């Protein structure tokens, strides 16, 4: 979902760093393995956090992540990093 509002404030870097970490954990994306395999660069990681910072669904994401689940879940369609998580998972399975 694209939000074209000008000068939209970005969310806190630390908060969104942890949201991306938690989303990866929830959907089974091994970020450490991706980095070790050279599939996830520092630049890519920073981009994922930056996209998350600008996401309009951050409050929904927080609520989704706060739902107690023990099983892995599909990344919600509203997640701006959904395609990036899928690509990392695919590259790790090659």
Give the integer Cα–Cα distance in Å for 49 and 30: 16
pLDDT at residue 6, rounded to an integer: 57
pLDDT at residue 1, rounded to an integer: 47
Would you give the DSSP letter of residue 82? H
Q: Note the pLDDT tens digit of each residue in 56-87.
A: 898 899 999 998 888 899 999 999 999 999 99
Helix 13-27 and helix 82-93, axial crossing angle in degrees, nearest 10: 50
Give the integer Cα–Cα distance in Å for 60 and 76: 10
Please give the share of the chain, as a percent, with pLDDT higher than 70.
91
Would you give the DSSP letter of residue 77? T
Q: Where are the alpha helices (DSSP H) in 1-94?
A: 13-27, 31-36, 42-53, 58-66, 82-93
Residue boundaries of the structural domains of the chain: 13-93
Give the integer Cα–Cα distance in Å for 60 and 79: 9
pTM: 0.87
């Amino acid at each position: 979902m694209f939000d074209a509002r000008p000068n939209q404030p970005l969310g806190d870097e630390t908060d969104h760093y942890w949201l991306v970490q938690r989303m990866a954990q929830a959907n089974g994306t091994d970020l450490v393995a991706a980095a070790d395999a050279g599939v996830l660069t520092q630049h890519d990681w920073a981009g994922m956090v930056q996209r998350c910072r600008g996401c309009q669904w951050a409050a929904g994401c927080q609520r989704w992540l706060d739902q107690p689940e023990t099983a892995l879940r599909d990344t919600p369609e509203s997640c701006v990093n959904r395609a990036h998580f899928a690509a990392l998972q695919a590259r790790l399975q090659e």
